[in-house]
Amino acid sequence: MKEYCRVYWTSDEGVRFFGPGPAELLERVAVCGSLTRAAEEMHLSYSKALRMIHTAERELGMALLKSASGGASGGGSTLTAQGEEVLRRFRACEAAAEQTSQAEFGRQFPKP
């Protein structure tokens, strides 16, 4: 038996707006330079991926991505400095929550 911990950020009303999915989406955009490609890699529709980003941006009050229109050069997306910082902070919260959860689980269910 082992513990499993997941972190989500919610609005004041308790509605989730950021978690492992949007974080992975941002990481993939950072690597491949395209929201479309990142969505495809995660088996998400482009509209679902865009909605995830827009919801997080609205709740956080900041732009997470900057996009360039297509055309001869192809366009693409990159993380804003704020997007990089949000991702870093989310991953730090995840790591801290996981560490705390593992420690408490070990206290509650010590191995014989």
89-110 residue pLDDT tens: 999 999 999 999 999 999 999 9
For the cut 80, the answer to whether the pLDDT of residue 72 exceeds it is: no
Quote the CA–CA distance of 34 and 26 in Å, as a whole number: 10
Distance separating alpha carbons of residues 64 and 71, to the nearest angstrom? 23
* Banded model confidence at residue 71, pLDDT cuts 50, 70, 90: low
Predicted pLDDT of residue 56: 98
CATH of domain 9-101: 1.10.10.10
